[in-house]
């Protein structure tokens, strides 16, 4: 056998191999990419809230899409999902895992350099966001709408929240600082309790999504919209002339206002930790996109009380980067605003002096 023939045979085999490899990769679907593997899911919410409700509906659809993948979910709402996220970031390379969290809460924990945040949330691979809400500051019906009057209100206004680490609590504290309205933050109010407290007059104001559920209360006048915070899809019952900007104190730092808007506009989202291979991330993105854009699924989720609006991975990533405040000056402003908001909530001071710095 001549040397040339051998070379030709080798080249032929090599080409055939390449062709086969190409065919097989062309046939590799996201489903087959993830088949016969275990997908670990960390749901950073309690098993009774809206996050759990969304996951329960979504997971059924996901199981249909990935029939050959084992999906193993755990609820871990410790520190608003920060502990679970930390666990995910420690997984060894190649592990298939995702987290389902509310990113602003984790971003805020990272900015505050809380001890349990031993990861950089920027390294997360975003799969998809599932919500984009339009938020307002809702108020009880008799509350005056003039900011100057609100700043002098006695006794102190009450802003009900679920717990001090929740996004709406953080936003409420920051709003104290940037609007100069010193609301007392009172914990232990679940979502339905907050609405009830406002209608009953036990609380004065809180941030809420201006969705279809709120519309009858706004229309009947049981609750009023004090000002809009984030988003643009408000119905006619919301007074769009009163925006957060019209309530700000003159020296309110732009970075804090921007943080508040991003935090309130950003809903729950799925991410994959750095351990997940880029190919797997792509496969997950593709499957999640299919589900979240499926009209039947959107209708099913809405009927379960969890309205869905898909947000692309790029948009989530951009929103998160905005939240994480890369420059030190903005971080300091945010920290100052937070501490000042807390002091105002406690009734220790009446306003923040941002301009002095």
Partner 1 sequence: MPSLAELISLLTSGGLGLFTALCLGTLFGFVAGLAPGIGGRIGIILFLPIALFWDPLGGAVFLFAMHSVVHTSASIPAIAFALPSTGADAATVIDGYPLSKMGRAGEALGASLSASAIGGVVGALAFLAIIPVARLVLNHFGPPEFLLLALAGLSMVALLSGRNLVTGLLAASIGILIASIGIDVSTSADRFTFGRPELRSGVDIAAIIGGIFVVPEMLAKWSFDAKGRHRAVSTSMSDVLLGMRKTLQHLKLVSRSSLYGIGIGMMPGLGSSVAVWMSYAYASRTSKSKIPFGKGAIEGVIAPEAANNSKEGGAMVPTLFFGIPGSSSMAIMLGAFLIVGLPVGPNLLTSDIQVSYALAATVLLANLIAIPMFFAVVPGIVRLAALRREHIVPFAIALSLFAALYQDMHWVTLAQFMFASAIGIALKRLEWSRAALLLGFIMGPLAEISYIQTSQIWGWSMFERPASLIMLAVFLVFGIRAARSKTKKTSNALGVADGVLACPILIIFILACTYSISLPSGASSVPLLISIIGLVLSGMVSLAAFKMRKAKSPFIPPSFENLRSTLLYCALVPFLGLPLMSMLYVVKLMRKAGTGMSTAVGSALALGIVQTSFLALIMDIWAEPMITGWIYASLSGY
Binding residues vs partner 1 (CB under 8 A):
36, 38, 40, 47-49, 52-53, 56, 63, 70-72, 74-79, 83, 87, 116, 158, 162-165, 184, 186-190, 192-193, 195-197, 200, 202-203, 213, 304
CB burial of 221-239 (b: ≥16 within 10 Å; e: otherwise) equals eebbbbbbbbbeebeebbb
Which lies closer to partner 1 via its Cβ, residue 56 or residue 282? Answer: 56
| CB of 116 vs partner 1, minimal distance in Å | 7
User: Which lies closer to partner 1 via its Cβ, residue 186 or residue 237?
Assistant: 186
CA distances (Å), origin 145, targets 138, 153, 157, 195, 343 = 11, 12, 13, 19, 23
Nearest CB to partner 1, comparing residues 83 and 351: 83
Residue number with CB closer to partner 1 (13 or 164) = 164
Nearer to partner 1, 257 or 308 (CB): 308
In this structure, the strands spanning 97-101 and 38-43 are parallel
Nearer to partner 1, 66 or 316 (CB): 66
Answer whether 106's CB lies under 8 Å from 45's CB.
no
CA distance 34 to 215: 42
Q: Pick from 22, 42, 165: which is nearest to 96 by CA?
A: 42
Nearest approach in angstroms of CB 96 to partner 1 is 11
CA proximity to 234, closest of 225, 221, 246? 225
> How would you write 27-76 as a 3-class SS string?
HCCHHHHHCCCEEEEEECCCCCCHHHHHHHHHHHHHHHHCCCCEEEEEEC
Shortest separation between residue 11's beta carbon and partner 1, angstroms: 42
From the CB of 188, what's the least distance to partner 1, in Å?
A: 3
Kindly state the smallest distance separating residue 338's Cβ from partner 1, in Å. 13
Q: Is beta strand 125-129 parallel, antiparallel or unpaired with respect to 97-101?
A: unpaired
Nearest approach in angstroms of CB 87 to partner 1 is 6
């Amino acid at each position: 056998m001549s040397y040339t023939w051998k070379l030709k045979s080798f080249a032929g085999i090599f080409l055939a191999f390449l062709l086969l490899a190409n065919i097989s990769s062309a046939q590799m679907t996201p489903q087959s990419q993830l088949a016969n593997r275990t997908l670990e899911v960390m749901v950073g919410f309690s098993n009774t809230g809206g996050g759990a409700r969304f996951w329960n509906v979504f997971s059924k659809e996901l199981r249909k899409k990935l029939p050959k993948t084992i999906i193993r979910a755990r609820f871990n709402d410790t520190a608003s999902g920060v502990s679970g996220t930390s666990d995910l970031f420690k997984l060894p390379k190649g592990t298939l895992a995702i987290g389902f969290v509310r990113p602003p809460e984790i971003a805020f924990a990272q900015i505050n350099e809380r001890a349990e945040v031993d990861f950089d949330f920027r390294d997360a691979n975003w799969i998809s966001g599932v919500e984009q809400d339009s938020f307002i500051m809702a108020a009880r019906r008799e509350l005056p709408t003039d900011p100057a009057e609100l700043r002098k209100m006695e006794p102190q206004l009450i802003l009900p929240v679920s717990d001090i680490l929740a996004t709406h609590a953080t936003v409420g504290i920051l709003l104290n600082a940037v609007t100069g309205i010193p609301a007392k933050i009172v914990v232990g109010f679940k979502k339905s309790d907050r609405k009830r407290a406002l209608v009953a007059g036990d609380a004065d104001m809180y941030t809420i999504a201006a969705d279809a559920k709120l519309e009858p209360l706004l229309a009947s006048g049981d609750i009023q919209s004090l000002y809009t915070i984030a988003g643009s899809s408000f119905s006619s019952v919301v007074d769009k002339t009163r925006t957060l900007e019209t309530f700000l104190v003159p020296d309110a730092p732009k970075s804090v206002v921007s943080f508040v808007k991003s935090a309130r506009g950003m809903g729950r989202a799925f991410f994959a930790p750095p351990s997940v291979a880029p190919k797997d991330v792509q496969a997950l993105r593709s499957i999640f996109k299919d589900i979240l854009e499926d009209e039947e699924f959107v209708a099913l989720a809405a009927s379960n009380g969890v309205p869905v609006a898909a947000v692309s991975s790029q948009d989530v990533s951009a929103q998160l980067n905005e939240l994480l405040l890369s420059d030190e000056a903005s971080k300091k402003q945010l920290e100052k605003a937070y501490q000042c908001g807390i002091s105002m909530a406690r009734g220790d001071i009446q306003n923040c002096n941002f301009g002095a710095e």
